[in-house]
Amino acid sequence: MLELFSSEVSSVNTVSHLIQLSVAPVFLLAGVGSLLGVLVSRLSRIVEKSERLNALLMTEKADNPIDKRSSEIRLERQALEKRRHLLNQAILACTMTGLFVALVIMIMFLSAFFAFNGSLAIAVLFIVAMGSLIAGLLLFLREIYFASH
C-alpha cells in the first residue's frame, strides 16, 4: 500500500515538473499567437484597401478607360499584392512556429510517460521553431518596409 502511494506521489511530481518545463514554450506559443493576430489584422486591412481600389478602378474605367489615375491605381494594387504575399508567407512561418513549439511540448510529455529519450527531437524541433519564427519576423519586417516606402 505504501509503495502504491509512493508511486502516485512520484508520478504527480513528474507531471508537476513537466508542467514547469513546458511553461516557457507555452509563453512562446502565446507570443506567436499575438504576432499572428497582428499579421492577420494587417492582412485584413490590405484586402479591404485592395477591394476599394478595385471598385475605384472600375469607376475610373467607366468614366475614362485610359487615364493617369487608372495606372496609379494599378501600381498601388501591385504594391498591395506584394505586401499581401509577404504577410501570407509570414503567417505561414509563424503558424509553423506554433506547430513546432506544440510538438516540443507534446514530445516532452510523451517522453516522460512512455520513458523514451526525446531530447534530440525536442532540440531539433525547437531549433526549427526558432528558424521559422525568425523567417516570419523577417518577412514581417519586409512587409513593414514596403508599407512605409
- What domain count does the chain have? 1
**Interatomic CA distance for residues 135 and 97, integer angstroms:** 10
Range of the domain at 100: 2-42+83-148
Q: Mind listing the pLDDT tens digit for each residue in 75-104?
A: 999 999 999 999 999 999 999 999 999 999
Distances in Å between the Cα of 139 and the Cα atoms of 10, 69, 130 are 46, 30, 14
Q: Could you tell me if residue 54 is inside a domain?
A: no
Distances in Å between the Cα of 132 and the Cα atoms of 5, 56, 59, 94, 125 are 44, 38, 42, 7, 10
Strands (E) in the chain, as ranges, are none
Q: Are 101 and 129 in contact (CB under 8 A)?
A: yes
**Res 148: pLDDT:** 94
Q: Mind listing the pLDDT tens digit for each residue in 7-56?
A: 555 677 777 877 887 888 999 999 999 999 999 999 999 999 999 998 88
Q: Could you tell me if residue 74 is inside a domain?
A: no
**Interatomic CA distance for residues 69 and 108, integer angstroms:** 58
Q: Could you tell me if residue 116 is inside a domain?
A: yes
- Whole-prediction pTM: 0.83
**Res 122: pLDDT:** 96
Q: Could you tell me if residue 105 is inside a domain?
A: yes
Q: Could you tell me if residue 16 is inside a domain?
A: yes
Residue 4 pLDDT level (bands cut at 50, 70, 90): very low
Q: Could you tell me if residue 26 is inside a domain?
A: yes
Give the residue-averaged pLDDT of 62-78: 78
**Interatomic CA distance for residues 72 and 145, integer angstroms:** 20
In this structure, what C-alpha cell is assigned to residue 37?
493576430
